[in-house]
Amino acid sequence: MERSDLDGVMPIENASFPTPWPRNVFEEEIDRAFSDARVAVSPEGGEVLGYSVCWIVLDESHLLNIAVRPDVRGSGVGSALLRDCIRRGAMAGAGLIHLEVRAGNQAALRMYEKDGFAFQGIRRRYYTDTGEDAILLSRELRESDA
């Protein structure tokens, strides 16, 4: 992800979350050395179709954000971004990737489950905007993921 991607990223962010990240948070992530911010773009025009933000710190990767443009959801972009995040974490030497997801987010929960994430716990009323619980998931990273 580069600053020039943010005009494509922001409408997706705003359409995807009750409390979207503001633009300056993405700018900070782009500049942060240990943050791996990635975009999926269309093959033709380079339009932003989705993005992910992972922190890779020591031997752990933390997926902080992932979203896909609403009109192209269900066509594999989310899975591709997730696998990219898994691959890059493994390549950087991380042994684990973890994340939090809203308890009601069935699409994301299924995507993570399909890619081998396992339930680790619940943080009650973690999301202050809706009062939803967070489900904590994690997955081991192996050499074969790299």
What is the spatial distance between Cα 11 and Cα 29, in angstroms, rounded to a whole number? 17
2, 112, 127, 140: which one is catalytic? 112
- Least Å distance between CB 53 and ligand COA? 11
What is the spatial distance between Cα 39 and Cα 13, in angstroms, rounded to a whole number? 12
Question: 53 - beta bridge partners?
Answer: 37, 65
- Least Å distance between CB 95 and ligand COA? 21
47, 100, 140, 143: which one is catalytic? 100
If you write DSSP's letter for every residue of 93-131 in order, what string do you get? T-SEEEEEEETT-HHHHHHHHHTT-EEEEEETT--TTT-
What is the spatial distance between Cα 10 and Cα 80, in angstroms, rounded to a whole number? 20
Q: Does 14 bind ligand COA (CB under 6 A)?
A: no
Q: Does 122 bind ligand COA (CB under 6 A)?
A: no
Binding mask 48-87 for ligand COA (x = CB under 6 A): ------------------xxx----xxxxxxx--------
Decide if 126 is catalytic. Answer: no
Give the residue with the Cβ less far from ligand COA, 82 or 94. Answer: 82
Interface positions, 100-119, toward ligand COA (CB under 6 A): 101, 105-108, 110-111, 114
Residue 25 falls in which region: left (phi positive, over 0), alpha (psi -120 to 50) or beta: alpha
Instruction: Give, for 10, the enclosing helix (H) or strand (E).
Output: helix 6-16
Decide if 100 is catalytic. Answer: yes
Q: Where does this chain bind ligand COA (CB under 6 A)?
A: 16, 66-68, 73-79, 101, 105-108, 110-111, 114
Residues recognised as catalytic? 100, 112
